[in-house]
Amino acid sequence: MASRIMVLGGTFLVKRQIFGQLAASAGLAALLAGCAANAPVQSASAPVAATPATPEQMLARMSLERKVAQIVMPDIGSITPKDVKRYRFGTILNGGNSGPYGNDKAPAADWLKLADAYWDASSAPLPGDEPVIPALWATDAVHGHANVIGATVFPHNIALGATGDADLIRRIGAATAVEIEVTGIDWTFAPTIAVARDDRWGRTYESYSENPALVARLGAAMVEGLQGRPGEPGFLGKGKVAATAKHFFGDGGTAQGVDQGDVNGDLKELMAIHAAPYPAAIGAGVASVMASFNSINGTKMHGNAPLLTGELRGNLGFGGLVVGDWNGHGQVEGCTNANCAASLLAGLDVYMVPEDWKALHASLVRQVKKGTIPMARLDEAVLRVLRLKQALGTFDGEVKPSARALGGRWELLGSAEHRAIAREAVAKSQVLLKNNGVLPLKPGARIEVAGGAADNVPQQAGGWSITWQGGGDLTAADFPGATSIYAGIAAAAREAGGEAVLAPEGNSAAKPDVAIVVFGEEPYAEFVGDRKDMAFRDEEGLELLRAYRAKGVPTVAVFLSGRPLWMNRELNAADAFVAAWLPGSEGAGVADVLFGKQAATGRLSFSWPARCDGTPVNGPEGALFGLGYGLDLASTSQLAPLDETCAALTADSGAAWFTSGKLGMRVQAVADNAVLPDLRGVGNGITATGIDRKAQEDARRIAFAKGAKLTLSGPDSEAGWRITYQVNARPGAPVTVTAGGKTLDITQGLSVAEGKGWREMVLGASCLGKTGDRLTFASKGAFTIAISEITRTEDGAATECSF
């Protein structure tokens, strides 16, 4: 039995059996490389042109400049259709904060309008025989097409992992692909198949599980949902988009959970965990793989030829396209965002270069002309881009996005059918950790719903929702058609003959039969969500739970989070506790479980920590609730009182050396012999100026001249330091810190922090030995760092040093 695969101007017949073998071994591109050689290509100026039909023949007619443009991927925020027409970029992306025409809250119609504009620009006729090659647009649809207002926002991957339901994930992928295609986009940077092993990582919620086998199974299902199954009708056809397995590899295994940090250890052991999901994704025919930001044993993945080429292409047999992450090539040693031959030579096929595309294009052209980059390597990368387009039908008489079968079918964006799938996913992802018998809620109950997250769609959606970070100034109006958790509870209560009243601060006069307290993490994405420990510091939910208990009101805690966190205090205070994760737009799925309309089938795909210190928990040791734990509604659990001691919370009130723009008592800042009152002034190579962070001049920008030193001294102590800092440009020469007679090179840690906003540095006995009464920073080259707070903390003395 044969399947039809759309290729240049015709169809290529291949036995399903053969396709499956090829997809499993060498990926999509290996099959497409053998596609028919003589199929016609539609030109921009005539129905059928004499332009070469195969990618190889098209490549032979391309100029060097056009070839390079195929492997440069700019962001829509920095290019116009006019730029696209001039340079003929092969691919385009929209970052998490990039919307059409500079509006990250643009209506859906504007996405399609801009897609048409880019298509028209890239399809305009070219002089001579040079082939016309339309551009592909890629987006981060990581939990639905959630950048677009009105789209269905599915639960994040951590919640989908708790469902363990591959068929459900496949249906979510299919619904997401349809909504992407409605807006004219071709390609998504999903699924994330990271195996998160340190929940301090700010991207933990993008991982399905700490268990590689579960990640592999669910990741492959998502690929199949987005693309279809290789060898079956409709693969990469109508209502399907190209998928991306990301990030190869090790993103979930960085030291201390630092986003974009270093992954250390025996390579075989690391691959057994962090590369384990990739064979399944490759076997599912995934069109592209994204290189990871992190390093493996000190070498950045964007420049790691033994892994990008040797392992991914050689041992794993991937034949598709390898795309970079956001300026990830610029982190490779010796590279900048605008100049990095090393990444292409290592095995990267497409550079994601949001803003510096013009300079990168020029440098790549020069490097090919000089021979730094062999033409054969450039051709190999360009062919992979062309073959992806071929697989998507781009050369097969494809029309502009709005004229395609699903283009502008707005009734499919956030459709009732897709929202029903999302609601099912929410219900199946709820994990019941404790139940003293209060659940399921009784018919006719008078319910009070409290907590700032109860009627807060942006918070329940989490990061990567409309904007990159989510939350912020977003409101329910930015999620038309969505249902908050409170709204879902209120509707279910009415159906059951009772009522639910919203009392965000829990201060209604009436005594309810039961109180539901909804609370949790504020939205975040990527490195902004990195943490130093697993303590949950927002005590709003805890205070409400304790207040209701004091009144004799039974309570249900509904906790929204992108990871397991230390919840001992809240678990003690609540009669029932539900891990609701980040459910997305369909909050009614939470009520479906609370009221017993749906069974409580969610099971932990991550171990839940018993302690708050942040020590990674990936199994029974250190776990309060282990992998696979979860109660059903018929079960009750009488948890013994849990230990509420948390050194990290106690340490928060440690002695301040610098805060609110002032040095602490008995603390002095000295640049060699020049005293800098309140860490401000100029002296001996140090220039410290006031800048605003949360208030006027509450922070300092400290510029080091070559060879300069800055010493902070204060009361002698064995405590460590916690320093809130920001680095906008990595150091170009070694930077060290000295305390207690020991010097530590912190250049790599500061380099990882580049461009990531305000972060926390922990320095203590684990890396400095004796800490003592002074801390000296020294830079061998010019370097600038901003500092807003320096605190001595007892936990800092024992905690692992981090940046």
Closest to 712 (Cα-Cα) out of 751, 763, 758, 649: 763
DSSP element (H, E) containing 681: strand 681-683
Closest to 194 (Cα-Cα) out of 471, 605, 567: 605
pLDDT at residue number 798? 61
- For the stretch 734-790, pLDDT in tens is 999 999 878 999 999 999 999 999 999 999 888 888 888 889 999 999 999 999 999
User: Rounded to an integer, what distance in angstroms lies between the CA atom of residue 559 and that of residue 161?
Assistant: 17
Phi-psi region of 714 (alpha: psi -120 to 50; beta: other; left: phi over 0): beta
Nearest 10 degrees: CA dihedral of 158, 284, 382, 240?
-80
pLDDT at residue number 652? 60
- For the stretch 220-241, pLDDT in tens is 999 999 999 999 999 999 999 9
pLDDT (average), residues 97-125: 96
116 annotated active-site: no
pLDDT (average), residues 390-405: 92
Q: How far is CA 143 from CA 260, 328, 558, 622, in A?
A: 21, 23, 21, 30
- For the stretch 35-71, pLDDT in tens is 333 333 333 333 334 444 799 999 999 999 999 999 9
Across the strands, what pairs with 672?
none
- Establish whether the linkage from the previous residue to 249 is cis, with ω within 30° of 0: yes
User: What is the pTM assigned to this prediction?
Assistant: 0.86
- For the stretch 403-424, pLDDT in tens is 999 999 999 999 999 999 999 9
Phi then psi for 650, rounded to 5 degrees? Answer: -65, -35
- For the stretch 295-339, pLDDT in tens is 999 999 999 999 999 999 999 999 999 999 999 999 999 999 999
DSSP element (H, E) containing 234: none
Phi-psi region of 71 (alpha: psi -120 to 50; beta: other; left: phi over 0): alpha
Across the strands, what pairs with 674?
671
Q: Which are the contacts of 631, defined by CB distance < 8 A and separation ≥ 6?
A: 432, 433, 434, 435, 600, 637
DSSP element (H, E) containing 138: strand 136-139
pLDDT (average), residues 710-716: 89
pLDDT at residue number 388? 98
Q: What percent of the chain has pLDDT over 90?
A: 80
**pLDDT band of 433, cuts 50, 70, 90:** very high
- For the stretch 504-530, pLDDT in tens is 999 877 899 999 999 999 999 998 899
- For the stretch 257-286, pLDDT in tens is 999 999 999 999 999 999 999 999 999 999
Closest to 598 (Cα-Cα) out of 416, 428, 425, 445: 428
Find the catalytic residue in 206, 224, 325, 356: 325
User: Rounded to an integer, what distance in angstroms lies between the CA atom of residue 27 and that of residue 349?
Assistant: 15
pLDDT at residue number 796? 56
Q: What percent of the chain has pLDDT over 70?
A: 92
3-state helix, strand, coil in the chain (%, to 5): 35, 20, 45
Tokens found for residue 76: 């829509």
* AA identity, residue 171: R
DSSP element (H, E) containing 726: strand 720-726
> Above 80 in pLDDT, residue 625?
yes
Tokens found for residue 368: 């090919």
Q: How far is CA 247 from CA 308, 322, 354, 384, 508, in A?
A: 11, 10, 18, 18, 48
259 annotated active-site: no
pLDDT at residue number 795? 63
Find the catalytic residue in 206, 526, 530, 533: 526
- For the stretch 104-115, pLDDT in tens is 999 999 999 999
pLDDT at residue number 797? 56
Phi-psi region of 445 (alpha: psi -120 to 50; beta: other; left: phi over 0): beta
pLDDT at residue number 316? 98
pLDDT at residue number 768? 87
User: Rounded to an integer, what distance in angstroms lies between the CA atom of residue 732 and that of residue 746?
Assistant: 12
Phi then psi for 130, rounded to 5 degrees? Answer: -65, 130
- For the stretch 4-17, pLDDT in tens is 233 222 222 222 22
Closest to 68 (Cα-Cα) out of 372, 415, 495, 419: 372
The number of residues making up the chain comes to 803
User: Rounded to an integer, what distance in angstroms lies between the CA atom of residue 270 and that of residue 149?
Assistant: 39
pLDDT at residue number 465? 98
> Above 90 in pLDDT, residue 2?
no
What SS3 class is residue 282?
Answer: helix
pLDDT at residue number 426? 98
- For the stretch 641-685, pLDDT in tens is 999 999 888 766 568 899 888 888 778 898 987 888 889 888 889
User: Rounded to an integer, what distance in angstroms lies between the CA atom of residue 247 and that of residue 783?
Assistant: 31
User: Rounded to an integer, what distance in angstroms lies between the CA atom of residue 478 and that of residue 15?
Assistant: 47
Closest to 351 (Cα-Cα) out of 92, 17, 124, 683: 92
Closest to 249 (Cα-Cα) out of 322, 337, 345, 334: 322
What SS3 class is residue 543?
Answer: helix
pLDDT at residue number 528? 87
Phi then psi for 463, rounded to 5 degrees? Answer: -70, 170
Residues 563, 161: contact at Cβ < 8 Å? no
What SS3 class is residue 376?
Answer: helix
